[in-house]
């Protein structure tokens, strides 16, 4: 019976997974249909706009050519009209002179005849008819304004959609994930026609974080991040926070005119240790805001002996909150109190190797960072004072000091206080390392046999710290881890 139930549970689990996969697939198809309609409307609008531009260009060119014909016609008409006016005037003058010459032939007096003949001769010499060309100044030909748009018509008839480059292919074997950096290469398409007409000029890469191992995009997923105009066939994506299990990458080619289809997406595993401050564990005087925790006392500074004599004198009324206010502040705070200004991380470590970083904020005085068994700390317990917590303590109160603490034992460390502390916890091998990241120096390492869920732990007094999570174990940690495998710390 139990075996059948277990088999049925496995079948149910398989069906549930398949059901979720099909739901994601159907959602992807629905979104693809919507996207197809949107894309169709977009390209149709672009086509109409291009046709309008083409029609407008033809109309403008037609207006330009017509104006050229009209201007030439008017120029020729003006010249011919001037010739016509001059010719009419010359004809009239010639007719008058001809009539006068005919009359002169009938003069019998020799003196008068000679005088008239001389006048006629002078007038003939100056007559417009003899100075006027008898050829038209311009011809009626308009041959230079003839047109033949057969080639252009053929070109218009050849109008078609742009030849866009085909999708490249990502080389899966080239995908490398290291130090929160993703790098990969791809092969361009071997489409000879497209390469000849409009060769690929650059590429666009997109990547998307997801917790789903597959190409379907569940609803509500983060949008694609873009890296545009890559001229090489490889890319390196750096500065990533691995806060999801996978990162999907894809690439498309672009020529001068258009971008092609995206390649088949490739899913790359990008697991890392992610956690946040668990505000429900925070001391009442600690303010948790995103990746930062700061010490902000609620008006009861005098309970900390380090502040005695340092605070300004004020009335007890202003220094001590009312019982009602104190109760309201502590509502829901079932963890750290007193001088244990502590807050824990919200994700347990039960195996594997984990890494995160801590940065002190400005004007800090005292901080402690490390790991602890969640169940081992009481409300008033301080980190490093129990067998269930391992930590690095730094102080700038009165004088600078750095120490490793565990089980109420402390070891002074002769190092400058780092501005960035890397913490690496190899749960399975029992290694806990603290690294000065800026100097790549091992500050301290603990060797232990972890047997309960661990959580990151922080104590802040005056000032604050910020954390960086979603980080892979850096490659440089391999050297530090290998050197500590055979060492056992004296404090254990």
The string of pLDDT tens digits covering residues 306-345 is 544 444 433 333 333 443 333 333 334 467 888 889 999 9
Class of residue 11 by CB neighbours under 10 A (exposed 0-12, middle 13-18, buried 19+): exposed
Res 218 pLDDT > 80: no
**For the chain, first and last CA: distance in Å?**
49
Q: CA-CA distance, 265 to 267, in Å (whole number)?
A: 7
User: Tokens representing 404?
Assistant: 């490793």
Class of residue 34 by CB neighbours under 10 A (exposed 0-12, middle 13-18, buried 19+): exposed
* Residues contacting 480, CB < 8 A, separation 6+: 424, 433, 435, 442, 445
pLDDT of residue 304: 52
Q: CA-CA distance, 359 to 393, in Å (whole number)?
A: 13
* Residues contacting 177, CB < 8 A, separation 6+: 268, 269, 270, 472
Tell me what the pLDDT averaged over the chain comes to. Answer: 85
- Residue 212 vs residue 273, higher pLDDT: 273
Q: Which ranges constitute the DSSP H helices of 242-373?
A: 316-319, 323-330
Q: Do 357 and 467 form a contact (C-beta atoms < 8 A)?
A: yes
Q: CA-CA distance, 338 to 342, in Å (whole number)?
A: 10
What are the structural domains, with CATH classification, of the chain? Answer: 1-158 (no CATH), 169-269 (2.60.40.10), 277-297+332-490 (2.60.120.920)
Instruction: Give residue 440's pLDDT band: very low, low, confident or very high (50, 70, 90).
Output: very high
Q: Do 194 and 4 form a contact (C-beta atoms < 8 A)?
A: no
Q: CA-CA distance, 228 to 205, in Å (whole number)?
A: 6
pLDDT of residue 335: 74
Mean pLDDT of 23-27: 88
In this predicted structure, which of 161-165, 241-245, 365-369 has the lowest mean pLDDT? Answer: 161-165
**Helix-then-strand count for the chain, H and E:** 7, 20
In the block, residue with structure tokens 């602890």? 372
Mean pLDDT of 364-372: 94
Res 168 pLDDT > 50: yes
pLDDT of residue 489: 42
Q: What is the DSSP string of 423-472?
A: EEEETTTTEEEEEETTTTEEEEEEE----S-EEEEEEEESEEEEEE-SBP
SS3 385: coil
Which of 331, 366, 333, 342 is CA-nearest to residue 277? Answer: 342
SS3 155: helix
Q: Do 458 and 357 form a contact (C-beta atoms < 8 A)?
A: no
Q: CA-CA distance, 438 to 161, in Å (whole number)?
A: 55
**Is the sign of the CA dihedral 128, 129, 134, 139 positive or negative?**
positive
Q: CA-CA distance, 271 to 242, in Å (whole number)?
A: 6
Q: What are phi and psi of 371, to 5 degrees?
A: -135, 160
Class of residue 107 by CB neighbours under 10 A (exposed 0-12, middle 13-18, buried 19+): middle
The string of pLDDT tens digits covering residues 224-257 is 999 999 999 999 999 999 999 999 999 999 887 7
The string of pLDDT tens digits covering residues 418-436 is 999 999 999 999 999 999 9
Q: Do 298 and 321 form a contact (C-beta atoms < 8 A)?
A: yes
Return the half-sphere exposure (C-beta side, CA atoms, 13 A cut-off) of residue 272.
Answer: 27
In the block, residue with structure tokens 């067998």? 387
> Which helix or strand (DSSP H or E) is residue 173 part of?
strand 169-178
pLDDT of residue 325: 37
In this predicted structure, which of 41-55, 156-170, 208-222, 283-297 has the lowest mean pLDDT? Answer: 208-222
Please name every residue paired with 463 in a beta bridge, in sequence order, or none if there are none: 295
pLDDT of residue 318: 37
Alpha-carbon torsion angle 118, 121, 123, 128, nearest 10: 180
């Amino acid at each position: 019976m139990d075996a059948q139930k277990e088999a049925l549970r496995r079948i149910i689990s398989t069906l549930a997974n398949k059901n979720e996969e099909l739901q994601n697939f159907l959602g992807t198809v629905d979104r693809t249909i919507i996207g197809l309609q949107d894309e169709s409307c977009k390209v149709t609008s672009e086509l109409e706009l291009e046709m309008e531009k083409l029609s407008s260009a033809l109309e403008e060119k037609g207006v330009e050519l017509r104006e050229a014909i009209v201007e030439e016609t008017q120029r020729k008409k003006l010249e011919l009209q001037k010739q016509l006016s001059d010719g009419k005037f010359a004809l009239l003058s010639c007719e008058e002179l001809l009539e006068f010459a005919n009359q002169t032939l009938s003069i019998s007096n020799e003196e008068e005849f000679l005088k008239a003949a001389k006048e006629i001769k002078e007038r003939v010499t100056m007559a417009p008819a003899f100075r006027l060309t008898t050829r038209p100044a311009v011809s009626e030909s308009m041959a230079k304004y003839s047109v033949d748009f057969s080639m252009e018509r053929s070109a218009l008839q050849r109008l078609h959609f742009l030849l866009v480059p085909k999708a490249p292919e990502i080389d899966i074997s080239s995908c490398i994930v290291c130090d929160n950096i993703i790098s990969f290469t791809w092969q361009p398409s071997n489409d000879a026609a497209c390469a000849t007409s409009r060769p690929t000029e650059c590429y666009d890469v997109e990547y998307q974080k997801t917790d789903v191992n597959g190409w379907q995009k569940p609803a509500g997923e983060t949008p694609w991040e873009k890296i545009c105009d890559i001229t090489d066939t490889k890319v390196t994506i750096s500065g990533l926070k691995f806060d999801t299990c996978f990162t999907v990458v894809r690439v498309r080619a672009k020529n001068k005119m258009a971008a092609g289809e995206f390649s088949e997406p490739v899913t790359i595993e990008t697991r890392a240790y992610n956690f946040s401050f668990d505000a429900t564990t925070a001391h009442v005087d600690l303010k948790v805001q995103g990746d930062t925790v700061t010490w902000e006392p609620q008006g009861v500074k005098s309970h900390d002996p380090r502040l005695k004599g340092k605070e300004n004198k004020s009335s007890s009324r202003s220094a001590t909150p009312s019982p009602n206010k104190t109760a309201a502040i502590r509502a829901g705070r079932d963890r750290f109190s007193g001088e244990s200004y502590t807050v824990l991380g919200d994700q347990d470590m039960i195996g594997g190797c984990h890494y995160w970083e801590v940065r002190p904020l400005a004007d800090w005085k005292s901080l402690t960072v490390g790991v602890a068994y969640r169940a081992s700390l009481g409300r008033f317990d301080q980190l490093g004072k129990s067998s269930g917590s391992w930590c690095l303590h730094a102080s700038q109160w009165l004088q600078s000091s750095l120490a490793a603490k565990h089980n109420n034992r402390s070891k002074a460390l002769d190092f400058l206080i780092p501005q960035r502390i890397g913490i690496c916890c190899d749960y399975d091998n029992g290694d806990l390392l603290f690294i000065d990241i800026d100097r790549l120096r091992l500050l301290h390492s603990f060797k232990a046999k972890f047997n309960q869920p661990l959580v990151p732990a922080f104590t802040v007094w005056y000032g604050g710290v910020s954390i960086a999570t979603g980080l892979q174990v850096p490659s440089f940690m391999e050297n530090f881890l290998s050197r500590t495998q055979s060492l056992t710390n004296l404090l254990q």
